[in-house]
Structure 1
Amino acid sequence: MINSNSRKILTNTPLGKRHLKEVLGSTFAGLILSPQEIWLVTAWFTDFEILDNRSGNWSYLNASWGNRMVTFIELLETAVLNGCKLNLVVNETKTNDSALSLLKNKLVNEDGFRFEISDKVHIKGLVTESCFFDGSMNFTFSGANRNDELVTISGDTHQISTTRIDFSNLYFKNYQQKTKAIENPVVEIEEDEDDEHDFF
C-alpha cells in the first residue's frame, strides 16, 4: 500500500485535503482486499465522506455502495466484514456518540470489532500492519474538511511495530464487548466540536 518512506500531507489547501482523502481511501481499499489489524485511536470521531465512488470505480470493493461518496464509517465497516480486526479507541464525549453508535450497530455481532471509550485519549493515529497515519488530525468531519492539519504517513516497519505494541499496552486492559445494538442512532456528519477547541 505504502512504501517504507514517510511523507507528509499539509491540509491547508483544498488540494491537500483531497490528497489526504485519496491516500486514506486507497489505504482502506487495500485493507479491504488484503485484511490486516487496524488500530484507530482518535480523541474525536465523527463520520465524513472520503471515497469518491460516483463513477463506480470502487464498486468491486462493495457492490452495495452504489455510485456515490462513501463515508469513513462505511469503509471501516467493509474492512471488518472482509476480515480486518478493528481496535477503536475514542474520547468520552457526546461528539463521538453518533458515529460510535452507528459503527456499533453495524458491527455488533462481529468478533473483529472492539472499542474503548476513555476520558484520557488525546492521541490521533491510525496504524495497520503496513502503514501509520500520525499527526494533528482527529478522524472527524472537521479534521478532514475544515481544519489545517499536518499528517505523516509512514511505512517504516520499526515505527509501525512500536506503535502497535504501545497501543496494545495502553488499551483494552479490561475489555468487555457489549453485544446489544443501539437503536435509532442519530447520524450527523456536518459538525463536531473540533472547531470549539483551538488546541486541536
Structure 2
Amino acid sequence: MQNLLVTELLVPSGQLWVLSPWISDIDVIDNTAGQFKTVLPGLPSRWIRLTEVLIELARRGSDVRVLTRDVESNIIARQRLENVGGLGAKPAVRIHPKLHDKGILGDRFHLQGSMNFTYFGQAVNAEGVTLTRDPHAIAETRIAYNALYEGAGHAG
C-alpha cells in the first residue's frame, strides 16, 4: 500500500476511488526516517496517515472519492477528510449504507479484496487482496464504480 500511495503522490490519478465500509485513519507511509520529505514536504518524520495522503492527493488535483458506511467507527476518518481547513480541494466522502466493495482504484492500478482500511484489516486479520495493473480491467472497473456509486448515498 505504501508504494501505491507514494506513486500516487508523485503522479496523482485523475480520479481515485477509495471504497471501505469500515475506515480508520491508519498509518500508510513510513516516513519515520524522513525519507519521503520531498514527496510530502512540511510533514514531520513520522508515520503518515491515510487521511493525510488522501487530502494531499485532492490538493494535487486528484478527484478523490471515498465511499464508506455511516457507522460510529468511521467518524474520526470521515471528520478528518470532511473538515479540511485552508484553501484547496478536499476528498469527496459519500455514505453508502449497503457498501461491501473494498479497494482503491487509480488511473494505473486497482487494489481490491476483503481488506477494509482499518487497523485490523491492515495488520491483524487474514485478508486477501489482488493488485491489477491491466488498463482494460481498470477502465472497466472505473466505469462500473461511476455507474454504481456516482451520486449514490449522500455527502458525509
TM-score between both structures, scaled by the size of structure 2: 0.90
Structure 1 ranges of 4+ moved more than 4 A = 107-112, 174-178
User: Are 2:101 and 1:123 equivalent residues in the alignment?
Assistant: yes
Gaps of 5+ in 2: none
2:53: which partner in 1? 75
Residue 38 of structure 2 is matched in structure 1 by 60
Aligned in 2, Cα 1:173/1:166: closer, same or farther, shift over 3 Å?
same
Aligned to 1:140: 118
Matched, 1:94 2:72: yes
Question: How many Å separate the matches in 2 of 1:116 and 1:49?
Answer: 22
In 2, distance between residues paired with 1:107 and 1:41?
Answer: 24
SS of 2:42's partner is helix
CA contact (8 A) 2:58 2:89 kept: no
Q: Is the 8 A contact 1:91 1:119 kept in 2?
A: yes
Q: What is the 5 A alignment of 1:120-199? A: 120-173=98-151
Residue aligning to 1:11: none
1:122-144 Cα offsets, whole Å, 9 max, x none, are 11111001100011101111111
Contact 2:95–2:154 under 8 Å retained in 1: no
Return the structure number with greater relative CO, CA threshold 8 A, min gap 6: 1
Q: With structure 1 as the length reference, what TM-score do the two structures score?
A: 0.71
Which structure 2 residues correspond to residues 32-47 of structure 1 after superposition, within 5 A?
32-36=9-13, 37-47=15-25
Q: What SS does the aligned partner of 2:146 have? A: helix
Structure 2 CA distance for partners of 1:174 and 1:117, relative to 1, 3 Å? closer
Cα contact 1:54–1:69 (8 A) shared by 2: yes
Query: Which residue number in structure 2 is paired with residue 29 of structure 1?
Result: 6
CA–CA separation in structure 1 for the residues paired with 2:90 and 2:47: 25
* Contact 1:28–1:79 (Cα < 8 Å) also in 2: no
> What SS is found at the alignment partner of 2:83?
helix
Amino acid at match of 1:78: E
State the number of aligned residues. Answer: 155
Judge conservation of contact 2:21–2:101 (CA < 8 Å) in 1: yes
Identity of aligned residues (%): 26
Q: CA RMSD in A?
A: 2.0
User: How far off its partner does 1:92 sit?
Assistant: 2.0
- The 1:106–1:131 alpha-carbon spacing in structure 2 relative to 1, beyond 3 Å, is same
Given residue 55 of structure 1, which amino acid in structure 2 is its aligned partner? Answer: A
User: Which of structures 1 and 2 has the bigger CA Rg?
Assistant: 1
Q: Is the 8 A contact 1:91 1:117 kept in 2?
A: yes
Separation of aligned partners in 1, 2:120 and 2:12: 28
Output the CA distance in 2 between the equivalents of 1:162 and 1:103. Answer: 27
Partner of 1:16: none
Alpha-carbon distance, 1:109 to partner? 6.0
SS, match of residue 34 in structure 2: coil
Instruction: Give, in whole Å, the separation in 2 of the partners of 1:42 and 1:70.
Output: 19
